[in-house]
Structure 1
Amino acid sequence: MTLKPEQMRITQVMLSRGMGGGERICIDISLALADAGHRIQAVCHPEFEGRHLFKHSGIGIHPLKVRWDYSPVARQRLRSLIKDFRPHIVHTHMARASMVGGAAGRRCGVPIVANMHDYAKLKYYRDIDHFFPGTEDLKAYLEKNAVDPQQITVIPHFSRIKPVDAVDPFSPSMVGMGRFSPEKGFDILIQALGILKNRGVELPLELGGDGPEKPRLERMVKQLNLDTQIRFAGWISDVAAFLRKGSIFVLPSRRESFGIAVLEAMSQGRIIVAAMAPGPLEILDDTIAFFFPVGDSSALADRIQEILANPEDAIKRANNALNRFTSYYGVDTVMPHMEACYRKMLNRKPTLK
Structure 2
Amino acid sequence: MARIFNMMLGYRRGGVERMAAVYHRMLAAEGHDVTTIGHPQGWVRDLLPEGADFIGAAPLSAYDPRLNAALRRHVREARPDIILAHSNRAQSYAVRLDGVLRVAVQHNFRLKKRIRRLDGLIAVSPEIGEAVRRRFGTVAVEVVPNALDITPVAERPPRRKPIVIGAIGRLHGAKGFDVLIRALATPGLASRDWRLVVGGEGPELGALQSLAKRLGLADRITFSGWISDVSGFFSAIDLYVMPSRLEPFGLTLIEALAAAVPTVVTDTSGTRDIVRGREVALVVPLEDPEATGLAIRRLIEDEALAVRLGEAGRRYAASAYGPQTIGPVLSAVVGRFLASSVPIRVSAA
TM-score by length of 1: 0.89
Is residue 26 of structure 1 aligned with residue 15 of structure 2?
no
SS in 1 for 2:127: helix
> CA–CA distance in 2 between the matches of 1:258 and 1:219?
29
Question: AA paired with 2:108?
Answer: D
The correspondence of residues 36-185 of structure 1 with structure 2, limited to 5 A, is: 36-68=30-62, 70-104=63-97, 107=98, 109-148=99-138, 151-171=140-160, 172-185=163-176
SS in 2 for 1:98: helix
Is residue 315 of structure 1 aligned with residue 307 of structure 2?
yes
In structure 1, the gaps of 5 or more residues are 1-5
CA, structure 1 residues 60+213, in 2 after alignment: closer, same or farther (shift >3 Å)? Answer: same
CA, structure 1 residues 197+61, in 2 after alignment: closer, same or farther (shift >3 Å)? Answer: farther
* 1:166-210 Cα shifts (integer Å, max 9, x gaps): 444444211111111111112222222233687412412222211
Provide the identity percentage.
28
> CA–CA distance in 2 between the matches of 1:224 and 1:242?
25
Shift of the alpha carbon at 1:239?
Answer: 1.2
CA, structure 1 residues 189+18, in 2 after alignment: closer, same or farther (shift >3 Å)? Answer: farther
Out of 37-46 and 10-19, give the one that drifted further: 37-46
Question: AA paired with 1:310?
Answer: D
> CA–CA distance in 2 between the matches of 1:50 and 1:120?
21
> CA–CA distance in 2 between the matches of 1:196 and 1:51?
47
Shift of the alpha carbon at 1:220?
Answer: 2.3
In structure 2, the gaps of 5 or more residues are none
Q: Contact conserved, 2:169 with 2:200, CA < 8 A, in 1?
A: yes
* 1:208-232 Cα shifts (integer Å, max 9, x gaps): 2111222222222333333332222
> CA–CA distance in 1 between the matches of 2:128 and 2:286?
18
TM-score by length of 2: 0.90
SS in 2 for 1:322: helix
RMSD, aligned α-carbons: 2.2
Number of matched pairs:
342
Question: AA paired with 1:262?
Answer: L
* 1:102-152 Cα shifts (integer Å, max 9, x gaps): 323xx2x11122222111223142332121112221221112113337x11
Q: Contact conserved, 1:133 with 1:154, CA < 8 A, in 2?
A: yes
Is residue 277 of structure 1 aligned with residue 268 of structure 2?
yes
Question: AA paired with 1:103?
Answer: R
CA, structure 1 residues 312+96, in 2 after alignment: closer, same or farther (shift >3 Å)? Answer: same
Q: Contact conserved, 1:193 with 1:202, CA < 8 A, in 2?
A: no
Q: Contact conserved, 2:17 with 2:43, CA < 8 A, in 1?
A: no
Q: Contact conserved, 1:31 with 1:54, CA < 8 A, in 2?
A: yes
SS in 2 for 1:206: strand
Question: AA paired with 1:95?
Answer: N
The correspondence of residues 332-343 of structure 1 with structure 2, limited to 5 A, is: 332-343=324-335
Shift of the alpha carbon at 1:306?
Answer: 1.0
Question: What residue number does 2:204 align with?
Answer: 213
SS in 2 for 1:264: helix
> CA–CA distance in 2 between the matches of 1:243 and 1:187?
21
